[in-house]
Structure 1
Amino acid sequence: MIDPSNAPERSLTRTALLLTFIVASVLTGCKGVNLTPSATGPDDQIFVITDSASWNGVIGDALRSELGAFVQTLPTPETAFDLIHRPLTTQRQLRDLQKRKNLVFVAALEDSTAESSFLQSAFSPEALAAIKSGGAVVSRDDVWRRFQKVYYVAAETPAEVARTIESNGPDMLDALNNITRQRVEIDMFKKGRQFDKEERLLEKHDFKVKVQHDYHFAVDTTDFVWLRRIVGSETWRSLFVYYIEGGDPSHISADWVLAQRDSLSRLYLQGNMGGWVEVDRRRPMEFQTIDFLGRYGFEFRGLWQMVGPDDTGKKVQYGGGGPFLSYTFYDEDSGRLYMIDGMVFAPGYGKRDFLRQMEVIAHT
């Protein structure tokens, strides 16, 4: 009897790829019940399954530009997601990839590669005909594992694939961010969630957000709440919520949000040396209108710094700073204008994942 663990690894064939795809579809689609385990690995990784020529050519360039671009509002270079290239070479490699959280299978249909064969196996003849005439991006959830996002990207030529990625990139990035927030939220609140603090918010302010296990109230006034999490001696994360009763949604603009945030931070977000938090206008800032939990909203991202007066009373930089994100929106049911703002201070650490945690709390 042959021990499968010692058997030589075989290269992937079109038939093996097709069978793998069909079996996975049956397991995840039977009566709407997903019997597979959760996807594994870091949330911020996207595995790009394509051949080396495509990865090093216009297809790879388009993916890096759309899904792996550097975030301009972080203090040091970090990409939105880490893109990891994997070609399809063996069945063992494919089985490993099927466990991952974010997968992008991409190929030009005119190529005679394993990746192209895989994609052609995944589509019907009618779908292939349509793809050849214009390219396509198909999204599937939970194909092999739960909490998994899988994309199939195809067009006839490499140039057409690149154009397809460029035109669909913002939607792909938004969907990947959404499912990443869902996964991070599960991990953040699976133990130690502070329900008593959430009820305090609801009773006193008529709103609540999920409160992680080691957050405490730093400020809690009539219309302003500041929650902080201090990790070690020099690292912290914080979230504040400010609201205006009977607020006017027409006030929401980039200038108003910027001025309001600086006003609130000077009043409430003060350091222990007499300084206060302020938006660093020397660095890139990003404003955009968004749908925030079904409400018209405004997203503001940038960097904050600690400032204060010197001996002559002139405002100077005190040192310290980090990234922030802020959501301002109007809640029609309550008639309130809300600002929810998350900040990170973590010298010596990457900030992307910490800021994503603040994004998660804001969305609860």
Structure 2
Amino acid sequence: MKTHLFIASLLLLVLLGACSSGPVMTQATGLAYEVIVVMDQKDWKGEAGEIIKADLESPVPGLPQSEPSLKITYAQPKDFNGLLKLVRNILIVKINPSTYTKVSLSYENNPWAKGQVVLTLKAPDAQSIVEYLTANKNKLANFFVEAEMNRAIAQLEKNYSSVVMEHLKKDFDVMLNAPENMTYYKDTTNFFWASNNANTGRTDLVVYTFPYTDPDTFTADYLVAKRDSVLKANLPGAFPGSYMATETLGGVHYEPITVNGKYCGVLRGLWKMRGDMMGGPFVSHIRLDEKNNRVVVAEGFVFAPETSKRNFIRRIEAALYTLRLPGEFDKPVSDPLDVPEQKK
């Protein structure tokens, strides 16, 4: 009898807990860097649809072959229901001259599923969308890319390589949340290398430091020269005399951004192995450690021949945003990346 009462009491507690917590929201579906576009078919097939597609499919910078920023699925408003409302990235386009006087963007998190973001574009006509997206290049793509990057950063906060974290903290006095499968490593003075050592989609991470003595340090030319000298000395190739170098033929891209409220240089381009046939994309975050008057470089690079490289390079790029210098260890992994406009 006591056993039956105990079970009945336990079931009652479970039911009360379920009632008090409310309904559980379904997890968003879909793959990273995929988006569903919802708009009238006539507009989708017209000039508004064309420029929206061009924006969302704009090429990912710094890759050896052209790859679109996002994969698009289209749906008419009348078909936008059921499972389609659970997709992680949704763009809803509303064109109505009697309702809207200008183009506006707004977004909402988790309206129908957990981990979802819905961006709404409103406009009086197709021409105003063309003018807006022409003046604001890659506005839509950048929004969803940054949303995906935030998701990856949040995941890295929960699951990361303890090997990388421990060695960087002990030997470099920095913190970085690398992907959990990065367990192969080499640690030398002022240089650390880690890799997932994968047969497909190999991804590597390097961290190195050097004294801050030159005001021209945060320029593409200086950083490429420094990169080549450091990696030549520390990452020899499989063949005698082979070594890693920056591919400068197609140019490299340097962009200043802000991370944790501080200046961060982003260097992006292609690497190649001189004396070998290997190569691929890389991205570097370069920051000034004011406390120790040194420059800290965290770089990810990918080797994935005969397959797309977009998701590989973006995953390691997300890890670079988690770099924390002395004095930042008690801060979150990273502030969320900026998104355009405002929430609804």
Whole-Å separation in 2 of the counterparts to 1:305 and 1:107: 46
* 1:255-291: CA deviation from partner (whole Å, max 9, x where unpaired): 1111111111211121110211111122243221211
Match of 1:77 among 66, 72, 83: 66
Deviation at 1:161, TM superposition (A): 2.0
* 1:319-334 mapped onto 2 (5 Å cutoff): 319-334=277-292
Aligned to 1:114: none
1:103 aligns with 2:70: no
CA offsets, 1:127-169, max 9 Å, x none?
x5xxx33221112222222221211111111101222334445
Give the superposition deviation at 1:77. Answer: 2.2
1:250 CA displacement = 4.7
* Equivalent residues of 1:241, 1:341 under 8 A apart: yes
Match among 222, 232, 236 for residue 256 of structure 1 = 222
Q: Partner of 1:179 in structure 2? A: 147
* 1:340 corresponds to: 298
Which deviates more from structure 2 when the two are superposed, residues 65-74 or residues 265-274?
A: 65-74
Query: Could you tell me how far apart the structure 2 residues matched to 1:36 and 1:82 are?
Result: 25
1:195 corresponds to:
162
Equivalent in the alignment of 1:294: 261
8 Å contact 2:253–2:268 — kept in the other structure?
A: yes
**Partner of 1:242 in structure 2?**
208
Aligned residue in 2 for 1:150: 118
Q: Does 1:225 align with 2:212?
A: no
**Whole-Å Cα distance in 2 between the matches of residues 207 and 143 of structure 1?**
38
Corresponding position: 1:359 with 2:317: yes
CA distance in 1, matches of 2:175, 2:118: 33
Give yes or no for contact 1:324–1:342 (8 Å, CA) kept in 2.
Answer: yes
The answer to whether the Cα contact below 8 Å between 1:210 and 1:361 also exists between their aligned partners in 2 is yes
Query: What is the identity, as a one-letter code, of the residue corresponding to 2:265?
Result: F
Q: Tell me, which stretches of 5 or more residues in structure 2 are unaligned?
A: 1-21, 323-344
Residue number in structure 2 paired with 1:267 = 233
- Aligned-pair distance for 1:205? 1.2
For the Cα contact (< 8 Å) 2:264–2:285, is it kept in 1? yes
2:175 aligns with 208
Cα distance, 1:105–1:242 mapped onto 2, change above 3 Å: same
Q: 1:28-66: CA deviations, max 9, x gaps?
A: xxxxx9952321110111111112222222212222232
SS of 1:89's partner is helix
Instruction: Give the alignment of 1:38-117 within 5 angstroms.
Output: 38-90=27-79, 93-110=80-97
Query: Aligned partner of 1:159: which letter?
Result: Q
Please give the secondary structure, in 1, of the residue aligned with 2:177: coil
**CA shift for structure 1 position 331:** 3.4
Q: What's the CA shift for 1:352? A: 0.4
What residue identity is the alignment partner of 1:165?
A: L
Determine if contact 1:269/1:277 at 8 Å carries over to the other structure: yes
SS in 1 for 2:142: helix
Higher helix share: 1
Distance 2:236 2:317 in 1: 22
- Alignment correspondent of 2:25: 36
Q: CA 1:356–1:269 in 2, change beyond 3 Å: closer, same or farther? A: same
**Residues 177-222 of structure 1: per-residue CA shift (max 9 Å, x gap):** 222123234556765x432541232122111212333323533122
- Are the counterparts in 2 of residues 230 and 236 from structure 1 also a CA contact under 8 Å? yes
Count of matched residue positions in the alignment of Structure 1 and Structure 2: 300
Alignment of 1:138 with 2:127, yes or no, is: no
Contact 1:73 1:284 in 2 (8 A): no
Deviates more, 1:241-250 or 1:159-168: 241-250
Distance 1:199 1:251 in 2: 28
Cα RMSD (Å): 2.5
The code of the aligned residue for 1:95 comes to: G
| CA 249–328 in structure 1, closer or farther in 2 if over 3 Å, else same | farther
Query: In structure 2, what residue type is equivalent to 1:273?
Result: F
Alpha-carbon distance in 2 for matches of 1:57, 1:285: 36
Q: Matches of 1:168 and 1:333 in 2, distance apart? A: 38
CA contact (8 A) 1:136 1:164 kept: no
